[in-house]
Structure 1
Amino acid sequence: MSNHDDIAKVWELIDRIGFCMLATQDGRDIRSRPMSAYTKKNDNAIYFLTDLASHKDDEVARWPNVCLAFADTKGQKYVSVSGSAEISNDRELIREIWSTPAKAWWESAEDPSIRVLKITPSFAEYWDSPGTVMSYIKMAAAAVSSAKPDMGENEKVSL
């Protein structure tokens, strides 16, 4: 696969999986929490809606390097994205990316406590395996033959 194809694959997997664990730094500790992602490939950005009062906003203001871990365990597809984060109060973007999952936290996109967390990815790694059943079959066959199994694609990609 070419680098262009690998980059396209990263964005495709992120869009398909949709939810991730966002890891931020809090001094010496690293904290993760589930988040619903909104991507804009042309902006080279992954967006999240967040609340003004949340700890993650303070954390990314102090330590902007973050990691996003996307996982589709049933399909055996994974993406890890490293990048830098920033918080904004872009009301137009908030309305644009507002969707059903956000209704669990706020009544409407007009809630003044909503902020946008923008991640600008710099690096990603993905794993795209043929699926759980096929992966188990390949691992079993490899164990019997002492060969390494072909578990699908794994690529490191600069974004």
Structure 2
Amino acid sequence: MEPDPFLQTVGHFAQAGRRACHTRPMSEMTREDALETIASIVKDVKFAMLTTTTAEGHLHARPMTTQEKEYDGDLWFIGAKDSEAVADMRARPQVNVSFSNPSKGSYLSITGTAELPTDPDKLDELWSDMYKIYFEGGKQDPNIQLIKISSHGAEFWEGDGKIRTLFEMAKGLVTRQQPDLGKNDTVKL
């Protein structure tokens, strides 16, 4: 498979360091601003990648369906009690959840701690019939496991979309100046 030239070019500029992106000091971003930015990215991404640490100490990422719920500092997923992911989180609750929307130039990485609660009201809130594919018993299936990620921190990148990013990169190549590829910020939650 041929490498994507767009991703190769982005990688080239990313290697040039953070100066390739316009950044503002964390002190200027309030928790409310951060939550608003994070919520807008989460809302636009249907599937997130949840990364856990296996018993062997390896990182393992898997896709999870993003819940149609406003982000408030916690992320919720529905998983299976007998899955490797849930076993990983039970033993080693530190996780990472990443979101990617290349068409909008939005990327987000959230670090947090996983909890495995039992909450029938929360399950009712999050449930959709799509989950019947995974759980034959519906909402009463004994293998259903709620997953709550309490966020500790996040880093996000927001650009103006693929076309604008390509333009900025081309401009940077011609002028030999670092392009403005959007904003990048790290926040402690």
Whether these two folds match at TM > 0.5 is yes
Structure 1 residue aligned with 2:46: 18
Aligned 1:105-144 pairs, distance under 5 A = 105-107=134-136, 108-144=138-174
RMSD of aligned C-alpha atoms?
A: 1.5
After TM superposition, where is structure 1 displaced by more than 4 Å over at least 4 residues in a row? none
Secondary structure of the structure 2 residue equivalent to 1:34:
strand
Secondary structure of the structure 2 residue equivalent to 1:109:
helix
CA 58–130 in structure 1, closer or farther in 2 if over 3 Å, else same: same
In terms of fraction of residues, the more strand-rich structure is 1
How many corresponding residue pairs?
A: 158
Within the alignment, does 1:86 sit opposite 2:151 as a pair?
no
Within the alignment, does 1:8 sit opposite 2:36 as a pair?
yes
Contact (CA 8 Å) 2:153, 2:187: kept in 1 or not? yes
Contact (CA 8 Å) 1:36, 1:101: kept in 2 or not? no
Structure 1 residue aligned with 2:105: 76
Secondary structure of the structure 2 residue equivalent to 1:102:
helix
Q: 2 CA distance for matches of 1:125 and 1:5?
A: 13
Structure 2 residue aligned with 1:150: 180
TM-score by length of 2: 0.78
Q: 2 CA distance for matches of 1:24 and 1:2?
A: 29
Q: 1 CA distance for matches of 2:125 and 2:35?
A: 24
Deviation, structure 1 residue 102: 2.1
Q: Which sections of structure 2, spanning at least 5 residues, go unmatched?
A: 1-27
Q: 1 CA distance for matches of 2:114 and 2:92?
A: 9
Q: Which sections of structure 1, spanning at least 5 residues, go unmatched?
A: none
- Which entry has the higher C-alpha Rg, 1 or 2? 2
Contact (CA 8 Å) 1:90, 1:115: kept in 2 or not? no
CA 92–17 in structure 1, closer or farther in 2 if over 3 Å, else same: same
Secondary structure of the structure 1 residue equivalent to 2:139:
coil
- Output the amino acid matched with 2:157: W
Deviation, structure 1 residue 56: 1.0
Deviation, structure 1 residue 2: 2.9
Give deviations 1:47-97, integer Å, cap 9, x for gaps.
000111111111011111000010012221110000000112212211110
TM-score by length of 1: 0.92
Q: 1 CA distance for matches of 2:143 and 2:121?
A: 14
Contact (CA 8 Å) 1:7, 1:157: kept in 2 or not? no
